């Protein structure tokens, strides 16, 4: 695992939710998901009732998370691109996810789990100039 991948995994461990993106019937979609880092990959929990897991399983997906709303002085974003597959989490992984929501869009929550094995990882950091400097914010990309 490269140092950039290690950094991305470490950052992802700081937040609980992200977004998974793929396509369903040739239409792109993005859906929020709860995640944990496990075994060098990303394990996500979705609601089975919406059917998004069916489009993701066996497909290449992008999973992204960030701390943009945290008020951090140096916000970051990570993205993992890789193949997703349905899995049954271990007891330890289930515990790491924490409590499940009771309902999603009015229907009872039924969990389904996917593991994403990262093939490409990117980390973005926003760096702001000092308040005395009038330069615009810069986006740093590391892949």
Residue written as tokens 């515990």? 95
What does the pLDDT look like over 8-33, one tens digit per residue?
Answer: 888 998 999 999 999 888 889 999 99
Please give the share of the chain, as a percent, with pLDDT higher than 70. Answer: 90
For 12-64, give the DSSP string. HTT-SEEEEEEEETTEEEEEEEEEEEETTEEEEEEEGGG-HHHHHBTSEEEEE
What does the pLDDT look like over 55-102, one tens digit per residue?
Answer: 888 889 999 999 988 777 789 999 999 999 999 999 999 999 999 999
Q: 3-class SS at 97?
A: helix
> Two tokens at 8?
């991305």
> From CA 82, how far away is CA 86, in angstroms rounded?
13
Kind and range of the H or E element at 92?
A: helix 91-97
User: What is the CA 109 to chain-centroid distance, rounded?
Assistant: 20
Residue 119: is its pLDDT beyond 70? yes
Q: What is the pLDDT of residue 97?
A: 96
> From CA 133, how far away is CA 136, in angstroms rounded?
9
Q: What is the pLDDT of residue 134?
A: 47
pTM for this one?
0.82
């Amino acid at each position: 695992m490269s140092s950039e991948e290690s950094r991305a995994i470490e950052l992802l461990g700081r937040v609980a939710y992200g977004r998974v993106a793929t396509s369903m019937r040739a239409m792109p979609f993005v859906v929020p998901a709860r995640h944990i880092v496990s075994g060098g990959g990303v394990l996500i929990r979705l609601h089975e009732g919406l059917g998004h897991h069916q489009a993701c399983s066996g497909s290449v997906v992008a999973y992204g998370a960030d701390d943009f709303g945290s008020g951090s002085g140096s916000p970051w974003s990570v993205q993992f691109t890789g193949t997703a597959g349905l899995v049954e989490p271990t007891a330890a992984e289930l515990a790491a996810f924490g409590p499940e929501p009771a309902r999603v869009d009015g229907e009872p929550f039924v969990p389904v789990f996917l593991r994403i094995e990262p093939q490409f990882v990117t980390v973005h950091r926003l760096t702001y100039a000092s308040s005395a400097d009038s330069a615009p914010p810069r986006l740093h990309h590391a892949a």
